[in-house]
Amino acid sequence: MSILCLAASPGRMRVGARNRRPTGGKEPTSRLDNARAAVDYSHFMSVLFFKRFLQRPFQIASIVPSSKALVKRVARKMDFSQPRVIAEYGPGEGVHSREIARRMSPDSHLLLFELDPAFSRDLERQFAGDRRVHVVHGDAVRLPQELTRRGIAHCDYILSGIPFSILKIDKKRTLLQKTHDALAPGGSFIIYQITNELKQHATLFAHAESEYFLQNIPPMFITVFQKAPALNSGRRREMEWTRFPANRQA
């Protein structure tokens, strides 16, 4: 299968019909038009992803965005039944961000930290009309300052798509510390990665659960690190590690 075939996977088709009209500005008139518009948009987004990968391979670290199945699985690890503050590191072209924004309540907040200028501009365009979503063009390490600037005390969830495994050890530790500190007691840090190497570094967290998720190219470990609830914060528990069989609910 060629790279462009992979890039045009149907995981991103639905967004196209909503956000862009690549049919020359004309409203799609039939189901077929809708499908064509969606496919064209999917190509545009995937081409953008692939181009950014060619430009900064170690920062982008993937040639295609997360699959729709992975996006749904990750979103199911968050409870959207009440207002939430969520931060996302490395949203890329926004495949997880759109799903989170779709599920979260009107008084929730989503902060997106994206290093890449082209992705950041595109995210700003996508969420221009959504006051709940704040795009920060910059390093995820800026999370504490960005929360303070907005008068937000803590995050309920922090989702990361950045290539943690290739970060230098000092940067990794700093980011983990800031992530832990920014979470409310009981809050969760959720990552999806090709390897599960972060577990050996993320010892600040009270609890962790991983699953190996096959419905993505490449397959990913999804890990949820949980910060100790307020009552337990003085007594740091030994990390508990549970490996789940592939694609079983964590």
Ligand X SMILES: C[S@@+](CC[C@H](N)C(=O)[O-])C[C@H]1O[C@@H](n2cnc3c(N)ncnc32)[C@H](O)[C@@H]1O
Which residues are near ligand X by CB under 6 A?
59-62, 65-66, 89-92, 95-96, 113-116, 119, 139-140, 161-162
The CB-of-30 to ligand X minimum distance in angstroms stands at 30
State in angstroms the smallest separation of the CB of 126 from ligand X: 13
- Which lies closer to ligand X via its Cβ, residue 10 or residue 83? 10
Pick 33 or 139: Cβ nearer ligand X: 139
**How far apart are alpha carbons 162 and 166 in whole angstroms?**
9
Tell me: cis bond preceding 245? Omega within 30 of 0 counts: no
The label of the residue with tokens 């959207």 reads: 80
Report phi then psi at 29, rounded to 5: -105, -15
Q: Please, are residues 198 and 89 in contact by the beta-carbon 8 Å criterion?
A: no
Chain position carrying tokens 């690190």: 225
214: CB partners within 8 A, 6+ apart: 246, 247
CB-CB neighbours of 55 under 10 Å = 11
* Shortest distance in whole angstroms from residue 250 CB to ligand X: 18
Nearer Cβ to ligand X, position 16 or 65? 65
Q: Which is nearer to ligand X, 206 or 224 (CB)?
A: 224
Least separation in angstroms between residue 52's CB and ligand X is 7
